[in-house]
Amino acid sequence: MLNFLNRNKDNEVNINISNRNVVRVIFIILISYFFLLGLKKTAYPIKLVIISIFITFAINHPVHKLSHLMPGRLKGNRVLGTAISLIIVLAGLSIFMASIVPPLIKQTDNFIKIAPSLVQDLHNQNSSIGKIINKYHLDSSVNYVSTQLANRVNSVSGKTFSTITDVTSSIFSVVSVLVLTFMMLIEGPRWLKFGHNLLDDRKQKIATRISNEMYDVIKGYVNGQVLMAAIAAVIIVLPLIYLNVSYPIALMVIVFICGLIPMVGHTLGAVIITTVSLFHSPIDAVIVLAYYILYMQIEAYVIQPKIQSSKTNLTPLMVFVSLLIGLSIDGLVGGLMAIPIAGCLKVLIEEYLRTHGYISREETKG
């Protein structure tokens, strides 16, 4: 037993802590430590599970509709509807990869071959680019860029193994997410029904209302992100067609895929589009990059807050703040999950305030 003696002039206080309480505190600390350690070790698969949950919520409605369009006895077969949906997704991914990978490899090989001539053009004082460099005294910057370009080209072969490893890891992650999504789509309704049956009638109504509102938030977020990606793809492809850049349709698909990633997706898309435009003409690459940057500013401050705030019932300020917090906590994955998580937290807070009489349902709708 531990004794603490606190002496004052007028009185004294004895504090006794039993050995059992000391053991309990130590035990709780150890359990918390191992729990956090295990959470850290399993962070990556947990991310895959969370991503699968959001994808499940997003495509649950189309799967449900598709299963009820089946003929005869197959009508309402959720397993078949889910399988057909995933086959369509896999077919689309396969067609896209088959159409974009060969040109990408070819153009990368061409870039490696023409890189030395690009460097020579930069140093050639008689060329148009060389005249601009001499006029604005950019020789030191050009020498730095030339050195970096040469180093990058020379290190391409050395990074082949690591690139293959990264691609393999990405493929494994995609397959894992698809499998998890398939299982959640099939078993999800049974788990929800089982959970609801554990509650009484009053709590069942509350749980149903909360789950429906969260479902609308996640579905609205995904639909909004798809809408913004489609807008970006259509707008960005216009200068590519006008400048006769190679593979504009394939590049439009790349912009669409990158547009699905909040905040950082368009940065990746701009790098890819600008690099491909560079094969066509350095001037065209500069034009495309400037155009893309202009669109990114318009989307970040006008389109995204407007669409996501209406789709997720969040204000533009909430959307922007949640994105900043999500990206700072866990980078890309945090940015992807920030808006729907913020919307779900808003649903829970509003339900608590309604239940305790602080606000009315009309106020939350407004």
* CB crowding 230-253: b at 16 or more within 10 Å, else e: ebbbebbbebbeebebebbebbbb
How far the first Cα of the chain sits from its last, in Å, is: 59
What phi, psi does 347 have (nearest 5°)?
-60, -45
DSSP-derived secondary structure for 18-50: -HHHHHHHHHHHHHHHHHHHHHHHTHHHHHHHH
| Sequential DSSP letters for 267-310 | HHHHHHHHHHHHHH-HHHHHHHHHHHHHHHHHIIIIIHHHHHHH
Nearest to 214 by CA among 55, 82, 346: 346
Contact 218, 58 (CB under 8 A): yes
pTM of the predicted structure, to 2 decimals? 0.60
Report which secondary-structure segment, H or E, holds 16: strand 12-17
Whole-number pLDDT of residue 204: 81
* pLDDT score for 118: 59
- pLDDT at res. 90: 78
Q: DSSP secondary-structure letter at 138?
A: -
Other C-beta atoms closer than 10 Å to the C-beta of 289 total: 17
Residue 207 half-sphere exposure toward CB, CA atoms < 13 A: 13
Rounded to 10 degrees, the C-alpha dihedral 23/28/32/33 comes to: -10
Report domain extents, the chain: 2-41, 46-198
- Cross-strand partners of 2: 17
Hey, is 356 helix, strand or coil? coil
Please give the chain's pLDDT, 366 residues, in tens: 545 555 555 556 566 667 777 788 888 888 888 888 887 777 778 878 877 887 787 778 788 788 888 887 778 788 888 888 878 877 877 776 676 666 666 666 665 566 566 556 555 555 555 566 566 655 666 565 556 555 555 554 444 444 444 445 667 777 788 888 888 888 888 887 888 788 787 788 888 888 888 888 887 887 788 888 889 989 998 998 988 887 787 788 888 878 877 667 788 888 888 888 887 788 888 899 999 999 988 887 788 777 766 666 777 778 778 878 887 877 767 777 788 888 888 888 888 888 877 776 655 555
User: Distance (Å, rounded) from C-alpha 178 to C-alpha 305?
Assistant: 29
111 CB burial (10 A radius; 0-12, 13-18, 19+): middle
| pLDDT at residue number 265 | 78
